[in-house]
Chains A and B, each alone.
Chain A
Amino acid sequence: SAVISQKPSRDICQRGTSLTIQCQVDSQVTMMFWYRQQPGQSLTLIATANQGSEATYESGFVIDKFPISRPNLTFSTLTVSNMSPEDSSIYLCSVEDLDLGGRAFFGQGTRLTVV
């Protein structure tokens, strides 16, 4: 299995600032996903981050707002830039472990409140 450490677990930020969320995995994984869950909603995929290539963003999400880094096979960051109250959500990191038949594992999530 893969163990994911996601930091911070929660934060309260001022509008106009940026927050970087870290996702650390205890094993090498090919595919990492970043999601957002707004209050009362289901998960929405922001982007897929594969090591060695640019992240692939879903419709409605752009790199300038949500830059992603994937420097190696065990680590990724998602930055929420120029935050507004509408960015208040849970942000979740997930990985797919191909060595275990493609099973998915999840971080604990980051609860972001923008004031």
Chain B
Amino acid sequence: AQSVTQLGSHVSVSEGALVLLRCNYSSSVPPYLFWYVQYPNQGLQLLLKYTTGATLVKGINGFEAEFKKSETSFHLTKPSAHMSDAAEYFCAVSERDDKIIFGKGTRLHILP
């Protein structure tokens, strides 16, 4: 069965510092992996996704994530945090046409 674990329900980083949001998954077949961001009172926005091919995926707003099959991880990073990055981030896994499983989310706080 699929599952997604996001380490840390809250993460705080200083403005300009590295952002690292952790996501580990389990899947019986090669998965599709997603990172979504949700700002208050808005729906989810796709940051990036991995389906096949290159394991380092670049997304919007300077975010990227690397699919590491051996570690079953898909951590999200950004070299330099900006105040506008403060939001809730969700990692999700989908086994092709099967249902989507979301992690519990990580609230990112940016410290001035």
Contacts and interface: CB of A to CB of B under 8 A. Distances in A.
Interface residues of B, number: 23
A45 interface: yes
Contact of A42 (B49, B96, B102): B49
Contact of B44 (A9, A33, A108): A33
Interface in A31-62: 31, 33, 35, 37, 39-40, 42-43, 45, 48, 58
Interface of B: 32, 34, 36, 38, 40-41, 43-44, 46, 49, 51, 88, 90, 92, 94, 96-100, 102, 105, 107
Given A42-B34, A43-B36, A111 B43 contact: no
Contacts, number: 57
Given A42-B49, A92-B100, A104 B41 contact: no
Contacts of A33: 43-44
A31 B49 CA distance: 26
Interface in A69-115: 90, 92, 94, 96, 101-104, 106, 108-109, 111
B107 A45 contact: no
